[in-house]
Every structure is written in C-alpha cells, then in structure tokens.
Chain A
Amino acid sequence: MHQVIELEGVAKRYDSAGAPALGQLTLSVAKGEALAVTGPSGSGKSTLLNLVAGLDKPTDGAVIVAGRRIDQLSEHALAKFRREHIGMAFQFFNLLDDLTVTDNIQLPAQLTGTSRREAAARAGELMEMLGIQKHARAYPGRLSGGERQRVAVARALVNRPALLLADEPTGALDTASGHDVRELLTDLHRAGQTIVLVTHDLTLAEACASRTVHLVDGRVAVDSRTQAVR
C-alpha cells in the first residue's frame, strides 16, 4: 500500500536537558487512511503534527511525506511543498479576518500561481460541497464556529492535497458544530482523503478515523492498527 507519511526514528527535543517532546517515533500512514492521534496534553501530538506539516524540524530521524523527505528541505521548498501536498485545519480556524470567505479559500491556490478564475471556480466547488456558499462574500468574523471550521477545511482542500492535517478541529466548537465537523471529516475520509487528526475528542476519533494512535510522553502507547500496547 502506498504510504503518504513515513516517520523513521523521529525525535524532537526543545530543550537538550529535558525530556524529548517526541522520542524515536516510527510511524507510517497509508494513502486513504484517516489517522487519529490522541493523547494527554504534552504527549507530543502537536509536535508530531508540526513535523509532518513541515512547520518544525526533527532533532533526529527522517520525515517523509508524499514520497519526499521534508526534514531536509529549505524554508522556501517547504512552503512550496506544503501548498502542493498538505492542507491544514486548526483548532481556532486561523482564517484571515481581513479576507472574505472566498478569498480565504482561494488564497493557497493563488499562492501556487493558479489564476484567479480557476481558484474562484475551485473555491466555489468546495463551498458548495461544504454547504457554505451562502457565506461566500462574508467575513470570517460573522460566521459561527462550525461555519468557520468548514471554511478552514475548504481552504485546506483547495489545492487537492495528498494529506489533510487537522489540529483539534472540534476543540473550539459547541456540540452541534462539533457534530457538523465530525460528519464533514467522515465524508472526506470516505471520499478517499488521507487525514491525520490530532484530538482529545475520542468520539471524533472513533467516528472519523480508520486508525488511532495514542501518544504518551512522546511515544506511541497504543496503535489500533496493530492493537499493540507498547
């Protein structure tokens, strides 16, 4: 099976004297797989996500995403890699308040040099798919949390990335909005999108993920694929 993510002995230390945030982690995620990463605060979930997204670099080991070793790329190359292969959705949405919903969604496409017309067409397609087309000209500040997260997911998908990373996507949402986002991610997984989901929300993990990895102190404690407790 084609692997979208391969982590080989990846370690990350922020402080040379302290415990590692992530210790000698080896993990792979296959294409079409939806992986939920769970664990208590400080377990290394966000560090793992940042390494996979190329937002941070490991102290040791190799991070291979979409067949390319990204831990050795320059910042410029990483930016290009991210815009082409990775989509990200954040807990607090991280939408640009100055831009309309449409502008937010089409921004990553425009960064790759896609024409405004093409980017707008793709954004329209996604807005229709995610049910937010009526907010196309609205600003994020006027939307509900669930709607904002849908906009964030639409933005993440605009370049048809091989991998969708979601960091606590329901963490800032009320129950109803959380349910909406859960269904959205489930639908995306069913449609074949590879997803890595970092969450405290076990219901979300169970509903959306085909596999769950539980981290404790920077190490994999449980991997549902093997059902092994390490």
Chain B
Amino acid sequence: MSLFGTGAMGRVVRSGVGRRRVQTVVIAVATMMAVASAVVAGSLMVAAAAPFDHAFGRQQGAHITAQFDPARASAARLAETGKLAGVTASSGPYPSTAFRPVDQTGFQLPTLTLVGRSGPDGDVDRVDLKSGRWAQKPGEIVLAASFEGPAIGIGAALKASDTTNAPTLSIVGFAVSASETADSWATPAQVEALASEGGPVTSQMLYRFDSASTKEQILAGRRKLAASVGFGALLGTRSWLDTKRAADQGAAATVPFVMAFGVLGIVMSVIIVSSVISGAVGTSLRRIGILKAIGFTPREVVRAYVAQALIPAGAGVALGVVLGNLMAVPLLLDTEAVYGGVSPSVAWWVDVTVPAAPLVIVGLAALIPALRAGRLRTVEAIAVGRSPRTGRGQWAHRAMGLLPLPRPVTYGLAIPFAHPARTLAMLLAVAFGTVAATFAVGLTSSLAAVGTSQDPESRAAVTVTTTKLNNVAPPPPPPAGGGVAGPSPVGGGVAGPSEPSVADPARVRSAITSQAGTRSYYGKTRTEVAVAGISGSVQASLYEGASRSGSYEMISGHWITGRGQAVVPTRFLERTSTRIGDTVRVTHEKETANLRIVGESFDTSGSELEIHADMANFASAEPSAFLVEVKSGVSADEYAQKVAAIVQPLGGDATTSTPTGQEGVLLIMSAMAVLLTLMLVSVAGLGVLNSVVLDTRERIHDLGVCKAIGMSPRQVISLVLTSVTAIGVIGGLIGVPTGYALHGFVMPVMGRAVGTSLPSPVLDVYEPVQLLLLGLGGVVIAVLGALIPAGWAARVRTATALRTE
C-alpha cells in the first residue's frame, strides 16, 4: 500500500509530478514565495501590532513601579506589600538613586535612574541583557540599550558626576526593561555608595496585579500600596499604562503600512496559488480521460490530481516557511532594536497558520477542477486536444486581425480572450504586483521626505557654533517606541565638567559676513520658554535673520516672517486647543511676548511641545549657531575651515553639515517595503509565468503549425510576449491608480498614529514620469514572466510540436 492508496495510484501521482516539471517547479516556487511573503508580513504584523505588549509580557513587566522612602518603610515591610490582595507578584526592594554621569569625552549625560539589582531576573521585570554581562561588583554599571553608541560601549568608563573626585564606573553591559524601571543598573552596594555623592537612596518595588488594565485599577493598586506602608512612605509610582502609551505611539505608525502589505501579499497568494493549481488540473483532462479508460474510478482520479497539486505545493510551503523565517528574523531584529523587547523570532502560530492556509487553498483549488474532471465522461476527456476548439476568443482573433500590425502581434493580442478566467488571474497578479511597487515607491519617497523635513538644519552647507562642537552633548536616548527623528544638536549644548567658553555671537556673525563665499545665513538657538496655560516648560527654537531655508515643512499657514509670530507643530495645537491665528503668551527668562500662531509645522521629532519664533521677540536671546549657505562653486569644507580658523580662538567652531539620515523606524519601514515589494512582484511574475506556461503548452501544436508554415522563432517569441503585453498594460493601468490611492490612504493614517497631519511634500511624492514608469512596470512584470515560456516555444522542434496533442 503506497502513500496514495494503491501502487498504481502512487505511480500515477509520481509520474504526473515528474512529467510536468516546469509546472511542478512553478507551483512549488509560487507557493514558496507566497508563503514566505505571508510569513514575513504576518510576523511583522504581529510584531508591529503590539511590540510593547510582547516585551512586557515576556519580561513579566511591572504594572506599578513604586519608590518608597527607606527611612519610613523597612525592607521587611516593603516585602510584605507583595502579599497585598490583588498583587500577583512583586520584586524588591531595590536601592535606587538618580545621578548624572559624564563620559570619557566630557559629555554629561541626562539624569539617569540607577537601580541596585544583583541580577536581571526576578519575579517582576525580567530585564533583557542585550549585550555584555550584569554588574557583579562595585565600579560596574549596566546601561539601558538606548544609550549604546560610538562613544558609549562596553568597557567604556563613566564618571559618576562632573565633580573632580567622582568615582568611575565601567560599563559592562546593555539591557532593556520594557517597563522602563531604570536607565541603569549596578550592584546594590554601588547604588548606596553613589547616593552618598548626591541624591538620596529610595527603595524601588515592582508589582504585578491581577487587574491592571485601566487607569482606575492602577490607582486602586496605588492606594492599597500607600495605605499599607503608612503616610509619606510612598514617594511616587509609575504606571505601565503610561509606558505602554508612549511605546505604542511609535509602533502604531508601522501598523497601517504592514497591514497594507500583508493584505496585498495574502490576497495575491490566494489568486496565484488558485490559478496555478486549477490551471494545472485543467490542462490534464486528456490524461485523466486515459486514466478513466484504463479503470481508474472518478474518486481515484480526484485523489490523484489533488495529490499531484499538493506535493509540489507542500514542498513550496515548507521552503516558504524556512525562507520567510530567514527573511523575517533580520527585520524583527531591527524592529527589536527600535522598540526594544520584540521577540526576534517569528511567532510560532504564524509558522503554523500561515502555511496551513495555502495548503487548504491549494487543496480547494485542485479539488474543484479535479471533481469536474472526475465527473467528465471518459470519451469527452480523451477527446480533449483531438477535437477542434470552438467558440471562445475567435471574435478577438477576427478583430485583432484587422489591426495594422504584424500578424504574430495581432495573433498574440487575441490569445488572452481564449481563457478569460486565466487572463483575469494573470491580470490580477500583474495589477497586485504594480500596486505593491507603486505603494512601495510612494512610501519610501514619503519616508525620505519625512526624514529630510525632520532635519531642516542639515540643508545648510555649514554650521558655525558659538561653542566648541565637542562640547555639545549627544542626543538623549529616544523615547521608548521610537520617535521619528532625534532632536537637533543646535544650541542644545549641555555644559561639560568645565564650562566651556562661549564665543561672542556678534564676532561669529562678523566672521561669517566677512567671508566672500557666504550666500546667506541665519542664526538659531534652542531654549526653554514658558507658555501661558501650559504647565512646565516648552522647547523654543528662536531664529535670527532669513530662516526660511531652515524651516520645517508647513502643514498649513506659513513660516515665521518677523516679530510677533510663532509656528508650532500639530501636537502643540491639539494639546493647547489653539488654532492658526490664535495668540499665545510666551515668556523667555524675564521677557514676555504675545505671539500669533501663523503656521502649523510638520515636526514629529518628539513628544515635547515646541514653538518656533523670531529671536527679535526676546532681547536677551542670542544665537548659539549660525546656519550658512555658501555661494555656488564654493567648497563647503574649505569655507568651514576658514571660518573655524577665525571662530575657534573665540570659543566657537565651524563644520560642514551632514544629513542625519533616516532614523531607525524609517529605515526599517523602507527595508520592509523594498523586501515585500520584491517578493510580491516576484510572485506576480511567477503567476504570469505559470499562466503563460499553461497557455503555451496548450497552444504548442498551433505554434508548431505556425512554425511549419514559416513563422520564425523571433516571431514566435513576439507572439507569446504580445499575448501578455496587453495584460501588463491593463494591469499597470489598474495597479498604479490603486497603489496611488493606497498610499494616499495609508500615509495619513500613519501620520495620525504619531499625532501629526502630513504636509504636501510628504503626501504628493509621485512624479508623472514616475507613475508612467510604474505603469510600464506592469508590462515588465508580464513580459518577464512570459520570457521563459516564449523562449521555450521558439526553441521547441517543429516536428515535435506538430505531434503534440
């Protein structure tokens, strides 16, 4: 007894699989690519949908991170809080303090929360050690992975503060806490030791509750904790809901994009696989007739043909899962680097359900024509290929024959009308491929536009600062969840251990104006201001001179043109419930100005409120940097060197500007777009290849006749390629507007996910020529898919083709 019931059945299935090698390979490869793209899309959808939830769940994240006063709550008493009703797990108490270290180059980092833990594990907040090892003795420190960079790596030393006799800590590892319970970790003894240097030690407790999904439940938990330790002992708490909200903001941007590609991939897989399988069975009718004539029952015929489809499809599915995993893991690792805490492996259920779906589709796609074949009368099945074809497509041949084109071309143009269902499947494959390509081109262009618009200062050729450039601190770590772009270094200098001298802005300005190569320049500084009605400080960028060249893209309104005006990002308008035309009262140091909002800027650089205004509004404000455009033909490098020679002795510096490049999220999305597009376009090409292989096989006798009466191999190739060209053109005509519309739908959704509208340069990214080329991409997909069968048809021996039935 063989795998397929009887020995005869097994032989029929094996010979069927082996005999049609091209079709077998196409089924396997198409299924493999479809499954691989679905695995990639599916795993990314899972990762992008809830990266924080995954990481939080895996790490047993803390629902509440609480800080207690150790003088009012002993360790034993705090340990008891873990037994409160509703608390399902707790960790701590851990000694905790805040410090502001300085790295080897003198940069002072932001204030960091340091927690003393003997290891990364625990009942709550099982910190992921990303590299290196845990701190094992005093003098060692583990930093949050977001700090890792060229100047801060394993083995680097940090001074605990900017004082001369501050102790030195060696970085031994980098870690991620999804709950963000700390920025750095050391041994408990080290924390106690550092506390004597500055801030007091508090006791950190981490809790998980049975109910913590709402703000009210978190507050109830907090009240329980406060009551259990007595008045004044609980210094503060942090809810996991706040951490999640911040994290999800970054992840949310990718969801609409991945969803769009995921849906495209899955729909396309269904179409291609169905078309491949039903075509394969449909072209075997004569063989089915012979099998029935020699005694196969209809049921055996059905089983044999479903099995013949499932064998290559099964191999394709298995290979597709492997390929999909191989491709998804690097992308997930990139995603993990941005989100922190995403599992770098494909979810197990994606590996199970994604392959199962194509197998079911393949089974159904094979079953329907196989059932039809099984019901077909034996004599009818045998007659297939012998009796003349009638009906479909003849009118098209008549009509196309009237066109003033070479006969092989008009013959080829009429071929698609002979098999409307197959042509439709081919058309859909080409259209989906073109949609994917159009969408991806638009998306990557938009992401590039976002990257450029987030870095307006990089447009200037030269940046001249009033301080030495190496006294400017590195940007703080990105917010969890990934901001779209980091803050600009301009004016953001944090004083190092020894306060650097600051050049007089007037003398720096004079150095710039004295240069013959100066075309234009403007001054800028970044400072904190108070805005009436907003608690806390607001970041302000103040400009001096012609700042239009350094402006953000405008969503609405216009850039500042003088005093009394302000430009703000969307989130400022939303949080302050203001509109363009409203006036805000802004205080810088001791000066107050009423500024009218004249524009809404496209700025997703962070979650902080920001305001852009003219420096002339505040007499005390001075530029900390000058952004210079040089005249045509002037070398920016040479210009910067000349200016630097003048301003460095004054305490300033000059350098050429370099674009910061796309940030992590943008790069990941671009990489995903390119990868998924290549896969979808390949699947589309395979769909065409399969359809043309079927068509060419069916027509090989006719092509033999044409060759016998004088059609040259070149004419045969043009006939076959022409048969798909119209499909490519129509597919392009459908695909390009659809991809364009998809881009127009998805981009605003992505923008809303990160709290901004999108300006025209980000949305209107398609050039007419680009759209034309994308439309031709449909033809390219179709022609590339048809090249192999066209070559085969041209090469096949005429005598052999004439014998083919």
Measured CB to CB, the residues of A under 8 A from B are 50, 53, 55-56, 75-76, 79-80, 82-84, 87-88, 90, 94-100, 103, 107-108, 110-113, 116, 139-141, 155-156, 159
Distance of B95 from chain A, by nearest CB (Å): 86
Please report the number of residue pairs spanning A and B whose Cβ atoms sit closer than 8 angstroms: 95
Q: Complex: how many Å from CA A191 to CA B475?
A: 97
Decide: A108 near B798, CB < 8 A? Known: A97-B390, A98-B389, A103-B398: no
A74 to B712, CA, bound (A): 10
CA distance in complex: A53, B710 (Å): 10
Task: Select one of B398, B706, B708, B712 contacting A53, CB under 8 A.
Answer: B708
Residue ID in chain A nearest B711 by CB atoms: A111
Given A56-B799, A98-B389, decide whether A79 and B707 contact each other with a Cβ distance below 8 A: yes
Q: Does B750 contact A (CB under 8 A)?
A: no
Residues of B within 8 A of A107 (CB): 407, 706, 709
Chain A residue at minimal CB-CB distance from B418: A98
Which of B397, B707, B710, B799 touches A99 (beta carbons < 8 Å)?
B397
Contact between B712 and A80, CB atoms less than 8 A apart: yes
Indicate if the CB atoms of B709 and A112 lie closer than 8 Å.
no
Q: Given that A97-B389, A98-B389, A103-B401 are contacting pairs, would A55 and B798 also be in contact in the complex, using a CB cutoff of 8 Å?
A: yes
A117 to chain B, nearest CB (A): 11
Q: Residue B150 at the A interface, CB < 8 A? A: no
* Bound complex: CA A79 to CA B705 (Å): 12
Interface residue B702 (Cβ < 8 Å from any Cβ of A): yes
Q: Check A82 against B389 for contact (C-beta < 8 Å).
A: no
Contact of B710 among A79, A97, A116, A140 (CB under 8 A): A79
Is A94 a contact partner of B708 (Cβ separation < 8 A)? Answer: yes
Q: How far is the CA of A84 from the CA of B710 in the complex (A)?
A: 8
Q: Which among B387, B414, B715 is the interface contact of A98 at CB below 8 angstroms?
A: B414
A126 to chain B, nearest CB (A): 14
Could you show 5 A-B contacts with beta carbons less than 8 Å apart?
A94-B708, A96-B705, A98-B702, A100-B394, A141-B388
With A55-B802, A80-B710, A103-B397 as given contacts, are A139 and B705 in contact (CB-CB < 8 Å)? no
Report the minimal beta-carbon distance from B674 to chain A, rounded to whole angstroms.
Answer: 40
- Shortest Cβ gap from B232 to chain A (Å): 93
Instruction: Report if B408 contacts A (CB, 8 A).
Output: yes
Q: Is B714 in the interface zone, CB < 8 Å from A?
A: yes
Taking A98-B389, A99-B397 as given, write out 20 further A-B residue pairs in contact, using a Cβ cutoff of 8 Å, ordered by the A residue number.
A55-B798, A56-B799, A75-B794, A79-B710, A79-B711, A79-B713, A80-B710, A83-B710, A94-B708, A95-B705, A96-B706, A98-B393, A98-B397, A100-B398, A111-B709, A116-B404, A139-B394, A141-B389, A155-B709, A159-B710
Q: In the docked arrangement, what's the CA distance between A116 and B701, Å? A: 25
Does more than half of chain B's interface fall in helix, strand or loop, or is it mixed? Answer: helix
Specify which chain B residues have a CB less than 8 angstroms from the CB of A98 in the assembled complex: 389, 393-394, 397, 414, 418, 702
The residue of chain B having its C-beta at the shortest distance from the C-beta of A85 within the complex is: B710
Chain A neighbourhood of B408, CB < 8 A:
111
B388–A55 CB distance below 8 A: no
- How far apart are the CA atoms of A140 and B390 in the complex, in Å? 9
Among B397, B408, B414, chain A packs the most CB atoms within 10 A around the CB of B397
Instruction: Tell me the bound Cα distance from A53 to B414 in angstroms.
Output: 29
B797 within 8 A of A: yes
A116 partner residues in chain B, CB cutoff 8 A: 401, 404
Partner of A82, one of B398, B418, B710, B794: B710
User: Which residue on B lies nearest to A141, using beta carbons?
Assistant: B388
Rounded to whole Å, the gap between the CB of A178 and the closest CB of chain B is 20
Proximity bits, B365-407, A CB within 8 Å = 1, else 0: 0000000000000000000000111100110011001001011
- Which residues of the partner chain A approach B390 to less than 8 Å between Cβ atoms? 97, 139, 141
| CA distance in complex: A108, B710 (Å) | 6
In Å, the complex CA distance between A100 and B390 comes to 11
Instruction: Determine the distance from Cα of A179 to Cα of B646 in the docked complex, in whole angstroms.
Output: 110
Among A84, A88, A90, A98, max chain B CB count under 10 A is at A98
Within the complex, the shortest CB–CB distance from A169 to chain B, in Å, comes to: 15
> Least Cβ distance of A136 to chain B in Å?
12
Instruction: For residue B406, give the distance in angstroms from its CB to the closest CB of chain A.
Output: 8
Q: CA separation between A83 and B715, bound complex, in Å?
A: 13
Residues of B within 8 A of A84 (CB): 710
